[in-house]
Structure 1
Amino acid sequence: MHLPSEDLTFRKSSYSDRSDCVEVAGLPTGAVVRDTQNRDLGHLVFETSEWTALLDSVRK
């Protein structure tokens, strides 16, 4: 799925630090993630179930 980045509202992840930064934009059907330092390289789209599984795994 391709989503134009200018149509998304990204926020810096609370898990990011100064050298390893990602930004997240919420979608009704999941989330979009991109590298803060390489925004022009695109983004990854996660369905709700995938995003929930990822968050659950990093919280453990």
Structure 2
Amino acid sequence: MNASPKGWRKSTYTQQETACVEVGRTQDGAAVRDTKDRSAGYFTTTGQQWAAFIDAVKTDRFD
């Protein structure tokens, strides 16, 4: 079993917003959770999946 995610953070662009997610580091990649409902848990991705997601965001493939 993987260790719990560490270093949870959210984007500095969302400091005043209420609909945000936080990202934490895992041994193999990243974890994502809702800032308003942290007790609901989180989902994890591999490093490769996270890199592909970040690349898609940066290249506007979700627009």
Q: TM-score range by the shorter chain?
A: 0.7 to 0.9
Deviation at 1:43, TM superposition (A): 0.2
Query: Does the C-alpha gap of structure 1 residues 15 and 27 become closer, same or farther in structure 2, counting only changes over 3 Å?
Result: farther
Larger relative helix fraction: 1
Deviation at 1:21, TM superposition (A): 0.6
- Aligned-CA RMSD value: 2.3
2:9 aligned residue = 11
Identify unmatched segments of 5+ residues in structure 2.
none
Superposed CA deviations along residues 15-50 of structure 1, whole A, max 9, x for unmatched, are 646032111111231001100011111001000111
TM-score normalised according to structure 1 size: 0.75
Report the residue type matching 1:52 in the other structure. A
1:24 aligned residue = 23
Structure 1 runs of 4+ aligned residues shifted over 6 Å read none
TM-score normalised according to structure 2 size: 0.72
Larger radius of gyration: 2
Q: How many residues align?
A: 58
